[in-house]
């Protein structure tokens, strides 16, 4: 992939799922990766790649974003790419059941944190006269039928923020795009807080997701999209091959976006 070698790339949510696959792919392509996660260090990456730095932080904490970016710039002097990947699922609550605590949790990590991350990296990107930001949104960023109200609103918000940043900074040679994955097998189900699980909301969503998955021999739904499929889309958007792609929303969902 063109011009990724030696680029300084920040990946949030690098300990699991799509973020882990993305960090690994960039490292395999000889980039310098600064990974952030509230979870444990991805030990295999740390052991295999000297160009990987791990910063453990709950990005929703006060000043956590600013501290992380200051540490990255202190170490590498620049930031070429930001991948906003850390995120959580809601419990499919709807407008009639959503609790304030659940709303604030999901909006904070899925929307407020990515915006704070963009605010934190933009000064360096402006000074360098270039950069690329990739926001990991979702099919739920453009559909009302694939998640609960908090997750859906957070990802719609992230889509709007992506377009706003793309337009506002296009003359600074800074690009901002989003990927919209369909269902991917990761650990995201572990972020569902069962006290906020809304079975009516889930039952309304489930037929939509069934249109888009495969089934195992026992009829259990199995996602067809892998973490590496999403990582390759992110890496393309980060690269100079996508240098005139700015403000785009790229579905990675094997045509689920067509319905």
Which position among 1, 4, 9, 17 is part of the footprint of ligand NAD (CB under 6 A)? 17
Which position among 65, 81, 85, 209 is part of the footprint of ligand NAD (CB under 6 A)? 85
Verify binding: residue 19, ligand NAD, rule CB under 6 A. yes
Residue 75 bears catalytic tag: no
User: Judging by beta carbons within 10 Å of its beta carbon (0-12, 13-18, 19+), is residue 242 exposed, middle or buried?
Assistant: buried
Pick out residues in 171-230 that bind ligand NAD (CB under 6 A). 181, 183-184, 186-188, 191
Tell me whether residue 131 or residue 251 sits nearer to ligand NAD (CB atom). 251
From the list 110, 92, 128, the residue with the least C-alpha distance to 178 is: 110
Tell me whether residue 53 or residue 186 sits nearer to ligand NAD (CB atom). 186
Rounded Cα–Cα distance for residues 5 and 136 (Å): 22
Q: Which residues contact 74 (CB under 8 A, 6 or more apart)?
A: none
Please report the sign of the dihedral spanned by the C-alpha atoms of residue 64, residue 154, residue 16, residue 130.
negative
Residue 151 bears catalytic tag: yes
Tell me whether residue 80 or residue 229 sits nearer to ligand NAD (CB atom). 229
Contact call for residues 69 and 114 (beta carbons, < 8 A): no
Which position among 8, 13, 143, 256 is part of the footprint of ligand NAD (CB under 6 A)? 13
Verify binding: residue 117, ligand NAD, rule CB under 6 A. no
Residue 198 token pair: 């809304």
Verify binding: residue 83, ligand NAD, rule CB under 6 A. no
Shortest Å distance, C-beta 202 to ligand NAD: 14
Shortest Å distance, C-beta 207 to ligand NAD: 17
Helices (H), 15-63: 17-28, 43-48
Shortest Å distance, C-beta 14 to ligand NAD: 7
Shortest Å distance, C-beta 67 to ligand NAD: 12
Among residues 151, 163, 215, 243, which one is catalytic? Answer: 151
Tell me whether residue 36 or residue 128 sits nearer to ligand NAD (CB atom). 36
Rounded Cα–Cα distance for residues 150 and 142 (Å): 14
Among residues 155, 163, 215, 243, which one is catalytic? Answer: 155
Helices (H), the chain: 17-28, 43-48, 64-76, 100-107, 113-128, 149-168, 199-210, 227-238
From the list 67, 32, 80, 28, the residue with the least C-alpha distance to 53 is: 32
Query: Which residue numbers are catalytic?
Result: 151, 155
Task: Please give the residue ranges that form the binding site for ligand NAD (CB under 6 A).
Answer: 13, 15-19, 37-39, 58-60, 85-88, 109, 136, 138, 181, 183-184, 186-188, 191
């Amino acid at each position: 992939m063109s011009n990724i070698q030696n680029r300084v790339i920040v990946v949030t949510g690098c300990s699991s799922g799509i973020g882990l696959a993305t960090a690994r792919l960039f490292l395999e392509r000889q980039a310098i990766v600064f990974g952030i996660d509230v979870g444990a260090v991805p030990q295999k990456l740390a052991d295999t790649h000297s160009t990987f730095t791990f910063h453990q932080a709950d990005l929703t904490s006060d000043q956590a974003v600013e501290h992380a970016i200051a540490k990255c710039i202190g170490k590498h002097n620049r930031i070429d790419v930001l991948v906003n990947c850390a995120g959580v699922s809601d419990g499919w609550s709807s407008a009639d059941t959503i609790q304030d605590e659940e709303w604030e949790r999901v909006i904070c990590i899925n929307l407020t944190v990515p915006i704070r991350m963009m605010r934190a990296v933009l000064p360096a990107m402006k000074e360098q006269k270039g950069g690329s930001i990739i926001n990991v949104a979702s099919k739920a960023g453009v559909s009302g039928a694939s998640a609960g109200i908090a997750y859906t609103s957070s990802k719609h918000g992230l889509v709007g923020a992506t377009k706003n940043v793309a337009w506002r900074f296009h003359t600074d040679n800074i690009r901002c795009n989003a990927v919209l994955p369909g269902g991917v097998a990761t650990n995201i189900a572990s972020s569902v807080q069962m006290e906020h699980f809304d079975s009516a909301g889930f039952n309304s969503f489930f037929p939509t997701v069934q249109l888009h998955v495969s089934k195992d021999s026992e009829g259990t739904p199995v996602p067809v999209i892998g973490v590496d499929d999403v990582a390759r889309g992110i890496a393309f958007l980060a690269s100079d091959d996508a240098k005139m792609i700015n403000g785009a929303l790229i579905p990675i969902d094997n045509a689920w976006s067509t319905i």
